[in-house]
């Protein structure tokens, strides 16, 4: 085998290993991106829950202030009958419905972000696995091409090495 043939074979083998290393790094990067995206969705989930809690707190505080003002206004008018209690009860029911609606909406948003986090993580892992499989196939294909281009004397010598 000529020096040029040996040099070409060595360069081909080095190129195959370099390509495999680059593809493995790209696969690892894809998996890391999937994890980061999943973490971002989890952060959004917690933000949505915090915003829901804040909205509920504001509604309850506003309702408490309104009830105090209503009681004061009715007392100033000298009214403390059943109709006043009915008005206050109706207001409390409306506040309860608003709170329940915000809780449902918050849970739906949280579920959406939890699903997105799971999908992003799984997609990153699956894409990474696919890239690694492609890398292995490319590597084996490249090595096969290099091996088939070797002269018979070299391939016979390699057979004897592997038999030993």
Q: Is 78 left (phi over 0), alpha (psi -120 to 50) or beta?
A: left
Question: Per residue in 55-109, pLDDT tens?
Answer: 999 999 999 999 888 888 888 887 777 778 888 899 999 999 999 999 999 999 9
Instruction: Quote the mean pLDDT of the chain.
Output: 88
What is the number of alpha carbons within 13 Å of residue 20 lying toward its C-beta?
15
- In our burial notation (b when 16+ CB lie closer than 10 A, e otherwise), range 18-35 reads eebeebbebbeebbeebe
Q: Please, how many CA atoms are within 13 Å of residue 154, restricted to the half-sphere of its CB?
A: 11
At 18, is the pLDDT very low, low, confident or very high (cuts 50, 70, 90)? very high
140-151 pLDDT, tens digit each: 998 888 888 777
Regarding pTM above 0.75, the answer is no
């Amino acid at each position: 085998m000529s020096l040029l043939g040996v040099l070409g074979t060595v360069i081909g083998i080095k190129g195959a290993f370099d390509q495999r290393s680059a593809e493995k790094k790209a696969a690892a990067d894809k998996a890391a991106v999937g994890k980061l995206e999943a973490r971002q969705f989890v952060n959004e989930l917690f933000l949505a829950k915090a915003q829901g809690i804040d909205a509920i707190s504001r509604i309850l505080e506003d309702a408490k202030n309104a009830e105090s003002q209503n009681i004061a206004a009715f007392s100033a008018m000298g009214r403390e009958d059943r109709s006043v209690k009915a008005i206050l009860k109706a207001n409390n029911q409306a506040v309860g419905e608003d709170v329940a609606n915000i809780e449902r909406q918050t849970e739906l948003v949280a579920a959406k972000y939890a699903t997105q986090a799971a999908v992003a993580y799984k997609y990153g892992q699956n894409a990474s696995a696919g890239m690694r499989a492609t890398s292995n196939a490319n590597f084996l294909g490249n090595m096969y091409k290099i091996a088939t281009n070797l002269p018979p004397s070299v391939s016979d010598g390699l057979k004897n090495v592997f038999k030993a």
